[in-house]
Chains A and B, each alone.
Chain A
């Protein structure tokens, strides 16, 4: 008797568990669905009551309006240029520095590392005005250079790669490669990089997504409204047309999300595996 009751109890509990989890999934996914619905509807349909809960048939029309109102692909190209160059620069500079911190001993190593970790704590606002002034002096304001250069190396990436390299690159490997006559750069390129590819993949995806979404600094630094990144263009679109042509604005939001989702699904396994490691360490 008791054991049967127990089985029923766990089964009921399992069902409640999955139902609650599915409810959470629906909440997570609903805004995406709602974006699709709204980007396929006309303004009249969007303003009607009761609201249309299923996708409509005006997506292409909304897209046409979108392309008429902003230089969508131009600003997406700007974003891509920034995100791709920053990602490659970060991967190179961060992994190189991380390799040094993880595997070499040199005077000032501890101090330099602590200094770097301290930089984590400096809030961006303290840098915003002076950065703007410096960029203006350099003549970079309004150009993509002002976005790429300050982001080309960062403390998080160096810390993350150092942790990864400490575990992944064995000392025997370092010793034997040195006996084979490998110089510093060849050790970095042929010994270190091949074994830390998963770590690089995580850092790369993380950096790319961060750059793709960057908003505050591009909003300030790109003063020419015709030469902006995708996020700034979207925000301009919303503040001008956001109360009249929502279908068009939502089509823009949807299109801006797609590349991110593609990158995410390519690297989902890696991201999921590495997420939380930083917190536990």
Chain B
């Protein structure tokens, strides 16, 4: 029995007997529980004021035209119709998906390999864990500034290395793929260690006998990795995949700060040619640079649909393998 009755309960309800358990469900005045409702109310009040009402309001806004100051004008489905034909929105969606794939897939693979290595290391385990987690402790703004220096065309370390190897320099933050690579590298650097530690926690729940049996059967480390580790870890990989999908499809700070001094028209433009403009950056540009609140709300619902769709796809993909 984990839950106990509220304080308004009569003494009979406080025993552990079946009769007492029965008494608990006797209809009683809801007001008798006022202390409990009061205790959980802050979250629900905040949620109502800054969560539920805003979500409803953004739905309302998306059917209107409004610049935040003048009169609001009903627009029907016009904002959504415009969204479907808006080349820049689709461009931002493509950018987001490319950057997400370039960051997430190597990140999760590297994280799993790192976790397996950490799991078999006997010494310095805690030292390794702290070192791998450190990139995640940093502020994204500071890290994006650091990476924008590393990928700087004029003096960046990346180009210095290329030059040192006798290769041509790359205008990283000035070219379509350069921008995407820089953002993806930044994300991979920041999140690989975090995911590795999540995976490590999962690895420690896999019984050692399984590995023992595989070794007796003559399986090598690669075979063991794909035949035992990956299948056993599927639920945790799914968790990590969904979390990185939801966060990755809504990336904002990384491209915004990384590219903020490469484009003078808007700090939300995502660099030259909008190559690093993610969906959320586009949302900010339309909403807060152009003060187009109605269209901004429609974009927000578009992003919501994309994120929901990909979460469901992820879920299905991993589930299907089971059957």
Contacts and interface: CB of A to CB of B under 8 A. Distances in A.
Interface of A: 17-18, 20-21, 24-25, 27-29, 31-32, 34-35, 38, 46-51, 93-94, 96-97, 99-107, 109, 112, 116, 119, 121-134, 149-150, 152-155, 158, 166, 171, 174-175, 178, 183-185, 188, 209, 212-213, 215-216, 220, 231, 234-235, 238-240, 242-243, 246, 249-250, 253-254, 256-257, 260-261, 264, 268, 271-272, 275-277, 279-280
Given A38-B149, A171-B4, A152 B120 contact: no
A261 B51 CA distance: 32
Given A150-B50, A239-B267, A280 B202 contact: yes
Contact of A249 (B49, B51, B145, B160): B145
B201 A127 contact: no
B51 A128 contact: no
Nearest to B303: A125
B310 interface: no
Give the most central of B30, B149, B239: most A CB within 10 Å: B149
Nearest to B142: A253
A34 B157 contact: yes
A250 B43 contact: no
B135 A126 contact: no
B46 A126 contact: no
11 contacts: A24-B114, A28-B134, A34-B157, A107-B33, A119-B47, A122-B51, A125-B299, A215-B141, A235-B256, A261-B134, A271-B133
Contacts of B303: 123, 125
A51 B54 contact: no
Given A51-B157, A133-B57, A125 B142 contact: no
**Interface majority SS (helix, strand, loop, mixed), chain B:** helix
B43 to A, nearest CB: 4
Contacts of A32: 134, 138
Contacts of A174: 4
B74 interface: no
Given A235-B257, A276-B197, 11 more contacts: A25-B131, A32-B138, A47-B155, A97-B42, A104-B36, A152-B46, A234-B141, A235-B260, A238-B261, A246-B155, A272-B133
Contacts of A249: 145, 149
Contacts, number: 278
A153 B43 contact: yes
Contacts of B299: 125
Interface residues of B, number: 104
A31 B117 contact: no
A254 B140 CA distance: 12
A105 B261 contact: no
Contacts of A109: 3
A104 B4 contact: yes
A134 B58 CA distance: 12
Interface string B269-296: 0000000000010011001100001001
B31 to A, nearest CB: 11
Given A123-B300, A243-B261, A276 B198 contact: yes
Contacts of B133: 271-272, 275
B234 interface: no
Contacts of B199: 276
Given A46-B155, A104-B36, A133-B57, A27 B142 contact: no
Contacts of B55: 122, 126-127, 130
B147 interface: yes
Contacts of B6: 104-106
Contacts of B121: 17-18, 21
Interface string B247-276: 000101100110011000001000000000
